[in-house]
């Protein structure tokens, strides 16, 4: 099975990836951030079953391209965990990432 994890290089995404790779599945991680060095070392044993795509979940064309590959399961883990200050300062971005980004994925 091929699993695509949006928000894949965050804490939750990396744990999902580790579990799915350990079970023999292929995993694609999609995130704005690259794969952390510790995860690169830990996942090196999985070879070509792990793919990392760097992109923004708000970039509809990039999201569609990521989904366009042979994907069996999609995990929507991209989210902004904001503080009260960021909630007040940038509610539009938080709403776009945490809620509206799911529309093209669905």
CATH number of 2-105: 3.40.50.720
pLDDT of residue 43: 96
Are 58 and 97 spatial neighbours (Cβ–Cβ below 8 Å)? yes
pLDDT tens string, the chain, 106 residues long: the values are 999 999 999 999 999 999 999 999 999 999 999 999 999 999 999 999 999 999 999 999 999 999 986 899 999 999 988 888 988 899 999 999 999 998 888 8
Q: How far is residue 83 from each of residues 9, 14, 74, 90, measured CA to CA in Å?
A: 20, 22, 27, 10
**Residue spans per domain, the chain:** 2-105
- Report pLDDT for 70: 84
């Amino acid at each position: 099975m091929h699993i695509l994890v949006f928000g894949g290089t965050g804490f939750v995404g990396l744990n999902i990836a580790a579990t799915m790779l350990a079970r023999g599945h292929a995993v694609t991680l999609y995130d704005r951030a690259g794969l952390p060095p510790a995860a690169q070392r830990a996942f090196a044993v999985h070879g070509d079953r792990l793919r990392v795509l760097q992109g923004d979940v708000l970039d509809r064309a990039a999201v569609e391209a990521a989904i366009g590959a042979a994907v069996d399961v999609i995990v929507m883990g991209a989210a902004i965990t904001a503080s009260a200050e960021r909630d007040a300062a940038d509610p539009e971005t938080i709403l776009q990432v945490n809620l509206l980004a799911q529309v093209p994925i669905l």
